[in-house]
Amino acid sequence: MNKGFVIVFGPVADPKGSYGICVLQLGSDVDAHALCGNDPVVKAAVGFSFEVWPMPRAMLPAAHA
């Protein structure tokens, strides 16, 4: 968050099982896998993992554009 990449993140209340989601806005010079793999929670190896999926098109409110 301190680097300004995070648009939104938090838990998802899925009745099938809990998980979280994080939406990032990254430049082409930022490796999403490296960024997420270096997250302290993931590095702690206590059962957290991540998946990276591109969002080729997204609409943001004018305040975030």
Please check whether residue 5 lies inside any domain of the structure: no
Domain-located, residue 63: no
Classify residue 56 as exposed, middle or buried by CB count within 10 Å of its CB (0-12, 13-18, 19+).
exposed
Tell me if 32 is assigned to some domain.
Answer: yes
List per-residue pLDDT tens for the chain, 65 residues long.
788 888 888 999 999 998 999 998 888 899 999 988 888 888 999 988 899 998 888 787 777 55
Q: How many domains does the chain have?
A: 1
Cα dist from 27 to 3, 31, 32, whole Å:
12, 9, 10
Q: Is the pTM of this model over 0.75?
A: no
- Residue at 15 is within a domain: no
Assess if residue 36 is contained within a domain: yes
Q: Which domain holds residue 41?
A: 27-53
43 found inside a domain: yes
